Structure 1
């Protein structure tokens, strides 16, 4: 065997060993957003705003769902903001929205996790909504619990 061929075989062997090691070390982390999955999350109770007389605190925590245009591939823009009527939820190291998820007819479509104080409670997804009747946005505040809002599509 010539030197060049031996080097190629050695390099391929090292690459295969490294890939195998990396694959065996990989562990998928599943985050249970309905549990206290990280330090700083104090409340996982579920709440809904009073539809007739919502408080400012309820408006601040209830997801606002806006439906945007449908693109040429059939995906519709769905935007979720935490807060309603101009009352927006803060994002600090001690008080933040830790997740937002979107459900279509009761099935999870998308979920976004947020780090404390790094991002405001906003998420946008492009979703296929053909045949979907209801969209539900669910969001978790680390202090004030889990809030949801459902809209009916036409």
Structure 2
């Protein structure tokens, strides 16, 4: 049985959202939490891909009434890149190509037009 949605829409726009329990996410959390796919360890200065896919087991819609507006990746508090998406024609999956020169906390955020900003983080080691 799925958990009931615990959020009111107004509350979602007052903060950056993350799942309350990653191992037991609600459908709303599964649909909005950005998944980060990239190596845990990278070579200093060498390019690598970071794939960001919105949704964990439940695809996020891409329709006029409900869509992902943008997806961004940052190195800690330093922005790296942001991609804007159009409803209907684009799907919420983006590949960022980057390089790092020191250990970093990647921060990925996405903005849903109905459910606010959602965030995930991943630590990357540089050798």
Indicate the structure whose relative CO is greater, using CA pairs within 8 Å and at least 6 residues apart: 2
**Residues in 1 aligned to 2:69 and 2:13: alpha-carbon distance in whole angstroms:** 11
**Unmatched runs of 5 consecutive residues or more in structure 2:** 1-11
Rounded Cα–Cα distance in structure 1 between residues aligned with 2:19 and 2:42? 29
Larger-gyration structure (1/2):
1
| TM-score, length basis structure 2 | 0.78
Aligned partner of 2:47 in structure 1 is 75
Whether 2:12 is the aligned partner of 1:48: answer: no
- What residue number does 1:132 align with? 103
**Shift in Å, 1:130:** 2.6
For 2:42 and 2:89, the matched residues in 1 are separated by 30
Instruction: Give the whole-Å Cα distance in 1 for the aligned partners of 2:76 and 2:82.
Output: 15
How many residue pairs end up in the alignment?
110
Structure 1 unmatched ranges of 5 or more: 1-42
Which of 84, 88, 96 lines up with 1:117 in the alignment? 88
Q: Structure 1: how far apart are the matches of 2:97 and 2:65? A: 31
Preserved CA contact (<8 Å) 1:64 1:80: yes
Aligned to 1:91: 62
When the two chains are superposed, the root-mean-square deviation of aligned CA atoms in Å is 2.1
Return the structure number with greater helix share. 1
Of Structure 1 and Structure 2, which has the larger fraction of its residues in strand?
2
CA distance in 2, matches of 1:100, 1:131: 23
Q: Deviations over 1:22-48 (max 9, x none)?
A: xxxxxxxxxxxxxxxxxxxxx743211
* Cα displacement (A) at 1:132: 3.3
Large movers: runs of 4+ above 6 Å:
none
